[in-house]
Amino acid sequence: MNMTRRSFLTAAAVGTASAAFAADRVNSAPSPANKKIKLGVSTYSYWHFRRPKVSIETVIEKAGRLGVEGVDILHRQMDGDEKGPLDAAYRAYCSRLKRLAFVNGVDLICVSTHQTFVSPKPEEIQQNVEHTKKCIEIAYQLGAPSIRINTGRWNTVNFDTLMANRGIEPILPGHTEEEGFKWCIDGLQRCLPKAEECGVLLALENHWGLARTPEGLLRIVNAINSPWLGVLMDTGNFLEAPYEKLKQIAPKTIFVQAKTYFGGGEWYTLDLDYQRIAQILSEVNYRGYVSLEFEGKEEADVAVPKSLDLLREAFRI
């Protein structure tokens, strides 16, 4: 009998999270319709943190014209203060975005957020817990079923230095990596009741910091072992031996962000074999969204359509 993602979430309440993820994939009928990947685009593809900011509305309208099925919203790209309150004005803004997406024939599929739980200061961890809870509510207001979350990092070097060092940074003096994992696991666990209340999945990215390696990422996800926490696979964040590492995290993956670098990358460039990545995801029966994150220097209106064509060919969409 087919098991949909909704029935998976119901089943998870009576079994372990690992068993639920496995059942959702293994018990699904192997019909071609069930295996179809849905294609999305991240608003980040059009704005790499430089002025002028490209509006979320603009990207939604472009996505509609490009024929993709979803838009992944970068939280920092939204109007308003990233750390500000979720007040009536912000809720109204979210509602307008939700309406615009509907009339343009696209779904809002994820809100990519920023937080850090790697801190020796309990008050700082709590601030990030509250920020993440607010982001969950933003996703709920938008109708998006997931948010991208990060472990955070030690912040002992600036970001450009971190990129030059291929994602490696020193541990905060006087502390250990074991402490970092403990802080992160505790912080994420405090966010789970809000995620369940709102029906929003937390997708932990293989980003910089504790999740820079598949072992670190899976250590956190497996320790928490919740149906409301899964893996966000960013295809461009494993800089060495990417395919073996992507294969390690594929069974827990609930959302994919696919990097392309036309015109050369902002920080680095990877030559990714998307047919190979598509095969890795096919082997675990992944049938969710693949959201384009164009991170090159070419003009986005040129590079994004090319990137989407590349993904459509690789995933046979």
Express each pLDDT in 301-312 by its tens digit: 999 999 999 999
Summarize the confidence of residues 13-24 as an average pLDDT: 47
pLDDT band at 317 (very low <50, low <70, confident <90, very high): confident
Contact 108, 94 (CB under 8 A): no
Q: What percent of the chain has pLDDT over 90?
A: 84
129/123 Cα distance (integer angstroms): 10
Q: What residue has token string 């820079």? A: 212
* pLDDT at residue number 35: 58
Cα–Cα distances (Å) from 11 to 6, 43, 146, in that order, read 9, 33, 19
Q: Decide which of 21 and 158 is more confident.
A: 158
Residue type for 20, please? A
- Gap between the Cα atoms of 121 and 131, Å rounded: 16
Structure tokens at 15: 């079994």
| 5 or 154, greater pLDDT | 154
115-129, 164-178, 293-307, range with the lowest pLDDT: 164-178
Neighbouring residues of 255: CB distance < 8 A, sequence distance ≥ 6: 109, 110, 146, 148, 203, 230, 232, 233, 288, 289, 291
Q: Which residue has the higher pLDDT, 60 or 316?
A: 60
List, for residues 230-276, the tens digit of each pLDDT value.
Answer: 999 999 999 999 999 999 999 999 999 999 999 999 999 999 999 99
Which domains, from first to last, does the chain contain?
114-286+300-315 (3.20.20.150)
pLDDT higher than 50, residue 30? no
